[in-house]
Chain A
């Protein structure tokens, strides 16, 4: 697995360097200017989850997976290394982005808020959710899978706007607030640290489910 991760690092060195600088810089600055802790995790989730998929999309473009899978590596190992590589990259960007949010002079969020268990869990939730949904789509449809996900989200948004009078907006708000409310409920019933661990465990399970689905699709993929 280390061989595959090393391969990806060599393969995308320049791209990773640029993305790992630009995205956290952008989010770090953005985060220092807003104090809405609900929007920020969604936004960072989208941006960070997109980076590894853009990287793998480049391999899709060069058709180099045919070569990669001819090397002594099983599909499970190949995919597992991609998940680990992606999580490593996303977490690194998230960490740098969060540090920048705090470090930018005049920032509106305190270190305690940025690194508080609620915002951390919420951010990780959106990273895991967006990456976890997009990865199987990407495996099945290539770069088009990312577009499918984004287009479906936009269509849902447009539909919501069109039918906003006939849709109970309170229900929609409840759905959107399900995650922060869930985290809050977990914290009040278990206490902050056990709730944090439980949240991480749920995210790990979700990510494993995404990996299992991706692997099932990847095993069927033909090159």
Chain B
């Protein structure tokens, strides 16, 4: 299989944080959601992909090329949106476009103007005068205007209203209809990923917890809601996270079949959402 992004044994340590042996692959023609709590290492992975920070070990291959050796070629075929849209604050959007466009050999000004129109971007306004949502829209318009083969989006939907978020998700789905293209999408808004992601990679404490097809994850992971019997020692290994509250016990497991066999009618078993998985895996060892 040809990968748009292939990361092997990536490691990076800095300032008390350690990204440890991170590996995952994104095939062409798919969208991957990168999820994890704050400080898990999502932005670090994205910065390593873009060569904004130096890796300590491992390998990153983008569109078949090493991300350091083929940096120029890769970056011209890659669209990016950073979590904080750092652009040139004192320039108007039209002038920011003037600085960005010449860097891309396949810049499509017609497409940019079409998107600027569609996103209601005020090209005559200074970047610093825009809301966070509008800044994100501008970054997205730029990322989608140079025929990129891979989009790397770090929290692109934060600050966007629900209507535009849905439009954007549609755009991303349309983007990968050309099967040579792919999207890596980091977000806290897991419902967005449930709508469009084909693969989910969950990172926590600098380590990959899982990187699998979304349907496989949502089919296998369940939340078991029941009484204190769930806390019994023989069930401990089954659960990835347990929350004990005033009204009972809730536990997350990746073994839906086994949970149904053990608890049958004694407990309520519900399909887990990505948010459930993130919540239980991060906070799921104590009281609710």
Contacts and interface: CB of A to CB of B under 8 A. Distances in A.
A72 B103 contact: yes
B75 A73 contact: yes
Interface residues of A, number: 21
B3 interface: no
B220 interface: no
Contacts of B53: 222-223
B192 to A, nearest CB: 23
Interface stretch (A41-49, A61-69, A83-91): A61-69
Contact of A223 (B47, B76, B90, B95): B47
B72 A72 contact: yes
A73 B52 contact: no
Nearest to B76: A72
Interface string A159-192: 0000000000000000000000000000000000
A73 B72 contact: yes
A73 B100 CA distance: 11
B216 interface: no
Given A66-B82, A67-B87, A223-B52, A72 B99 contact: no
A3 B103 contact: yes
Interface string A6-23: 110011000000000000
A7 B98 CA distance: 8
Interface string B68-88: 000110011000101010111
B54 A70 contact: no
Given A3-B102, A10-B95, A67-B82, A74 B88 contact: no
A10 B53 CA distance: 27
B86 A67 contact: yes
Closest 4 CB pairs of A and B: A72-B75, A72-B76, A222-B53, A7-B99
Interface of B: 14, 47, 50-54, 71-72, 75-76, 80, 82, 84, 86-91, 95, 98-100, 102-104
Given A66-B52, A67-B87, A222-B54, 7 more contacts: A59-B88, A62-B89, A64-B88, A66-B86, A67-B82, A67-B88, A74-B71
